[in-house]
């Protein structure tokens, strides 16, 4: 029966009692953008721009970047597309941006930190994003990866807004989650990257298969930080999304919505299962699921608690 519900669900995202939850796609290139455009998504919650440049030795000029971004934006005319500025470094090395020879690249000069010494790199990318937005009619918003301080968020937001675009930051570092309410004073939205937030909260490399029991977004400590961030969003009346792998887990999605998350961004192939699951639970049930998982002390207990509420309440 669940498989039929998944096949039948055709969007837009909402709980059984009609509370909207934006279901959006993670994309990286023209191909994934086309795949996403064919699914019942309301836009893009994460365009990973660094993946366009993994095999480029030199930085493309503003014009060339604009053309690359426009190809990805094209299926989404009139829809929101959140473009992430270069998240180069660590697991995503980009030849023209990444620092070489770092001892500990995951804790090094990656993401927004690349622009501390090289602001022109970010400025050129923002100019290209603005051009691509104008050419496609997508409603582009821009967010920065690997933000740790409010000052970083404010500096970034200033540059984005100078170009007439809405600005957000990713919550991937526990320091940023703990200060989500202050981040929201300087940006228009937040997007939680649960892959890195889990890695940095649990001090466990996201690529280490031996540590998979730690790099689990159902870890209660990670869920607490997500809840803090979502609560700050509700208080500020600003959107807070999730764009890491956690958003693609239908049961976890119920907990996230119950915490106050307003959008879930995921691989296009995951959207129908998440949409169908949310369509079968009320907002009140989601809140009960959130409360249940936040009371658990390990991932297995959190999952079991969530399942119990969903099966009892529907
Ligand atoms: C994340 O960290 O959860 C995220 C969405 O970004 P990436 O997986 O590209 O690091
Ligand atoms: Mg990340």
Of the ligands numbered here, which is closest to the C-alpha atom of 243?
1
Residue 63's nearest CA partner among 130, 128, 122, 121 is 128
Of the ligands numbered here, which is closest to the C-alpha atom of 112?
2
Q: Which atom of ligand 1 is the closest one to the Cα of 172?
A: 2
Q: Decide if pLDDT at 1 tops 90.
A: no
| Protein residues with CB under 6 Å of any ligand 1 atom | 46, 48, 87, 172, 193-196, 243-244
Range list of β-strands (E), the chain:
22-27, 43-48, 80-84, 139-144, 166-171, 189-192, 240-242, 263-266
With cut-offs at 50, 70 and 90, classify the pLDDT of residue 8.
confident
Closest residue to atom 8 of ligand 1, CA basis: 195
Residue range 164-183: average pLDDT? Answer: 98
Residue 91: the pLDDT is 83
Q: Decide if pLDDT at 176 tops 80.
A: yes
Closest residue to atom 6 of ligand 1, CA basis: 193
Distance CA 224, CA 203 (A): 16
With cut-offs at 50, 70 and 90, classify the pLDDT of residue 282.
very high
What value does the mean pLDDT of the chain take?
Answer: 96
Token pair recorded at residue 306: 């969530």
CA distances from 156 to 107, 144, 146, 181 (A): 20, 7, 12, 17
ipTM for the assembly: 0.99
Cis peptide bond prior to 307, omega within 30° of 0: no
Question: What is the radius of gyration, based on Cα positions, of the chain?
Answer: 19
| pLDDT per position as a tens digit, 44-68 | 999 999 999 999 999 999 999 999 9
313 CA distance to ligand 2 middle (Å): 34
Residue 105: the pLDDT is 93
- Dihedral over Cα of 234, 236, 239, 245: its sign: negative
With cut-offs at 50, 70 and 90, classify the pLDDT of residue 314.
low
Ligand 2 (ion): residues with CB under 5 Å are: 172, 193, 196
| pLDDT per position as a tens digit, 227-265 | 999 999 999 999 999 999 999 999 999 999 999 999 999
Does the pTM of the predicted model rise above 0.95? yes
**How many degrees, rounded to 5, is the angle at CA 11 between CA 7 and CA 17?**
105
Q: Which atom of ligand 1 is the closest one to the Cα of 191?
A: 5
- Percent above pLDDT 90 for the chain: 93
| pLDDT per position as a tens digit, 79-120 | 999 999 999 988 888 999 988 899 999 999 999 999 998 999
Count other Cβ atoms within 10 Å, centred on residue 159.
18
């Amino acid at each position: 029966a669940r498989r039929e519900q998944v096949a039948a669900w055709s969007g837009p995202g909402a709980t059984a009692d009609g509370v909207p939850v934006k279901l959006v796609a993670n994309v990286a290139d023209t191909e994934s953008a086309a795949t996403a455009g064919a699914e019942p998504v309301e836009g893009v919650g994460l365009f990973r721009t660094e993946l366009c440049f993994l095999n480029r030795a030199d930085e493309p000029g503003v014009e060339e970047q604009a053309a690359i971004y426009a190809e990805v934006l094209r299926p989404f005319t009139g829809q929101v597309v959140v473009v992430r500025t270069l998240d180069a470094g660590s697991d995503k090395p980009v030849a023209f941006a990444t620092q070489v020879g770092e001892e500990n690249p995951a804790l090094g000069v990656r993401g927004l930190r690349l622009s501390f010494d090289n602001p022109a790199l970010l400025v050129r990318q923002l100019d290209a994003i603005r051009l691509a937005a104008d050419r496609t009619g997508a409603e582009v918003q821009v967010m920065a990866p690997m933000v740790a301080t409010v000052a970083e968020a404010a500096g970034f937001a200033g540059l984005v807004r100078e170009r007439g675009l809405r600005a957000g930051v990713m919550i991937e570092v526990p320091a940023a989650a703990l200060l989500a309410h202050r981040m929201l004073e300087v940006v228009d939205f937040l997007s939680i990257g649960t892959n890195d937030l889990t890695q940095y909260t649990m001090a466990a490399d996201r690529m280490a298969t031996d540590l998979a029991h730690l790099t689990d977004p159902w870890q209660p400590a990670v869920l607490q930080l997500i809840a803090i961030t979502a609560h700050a969003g509700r208080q500020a009346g600003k959107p807070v999304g999730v764009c890491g792998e956690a958003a693609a887990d239908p049961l976890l999605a119920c907990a996230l919505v119950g915490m106050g998350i307003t959008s879930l961004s995921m691989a296009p192939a995951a959207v129908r299962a998440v949409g169908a699951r949310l369509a079968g639970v009320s907002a009140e049930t989601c809140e009960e699921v959130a409360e249940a998982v936040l009371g658990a002390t390990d991932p297995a207990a959190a999952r079991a608690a969530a399942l119990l509420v969903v099966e009892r309440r529907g």
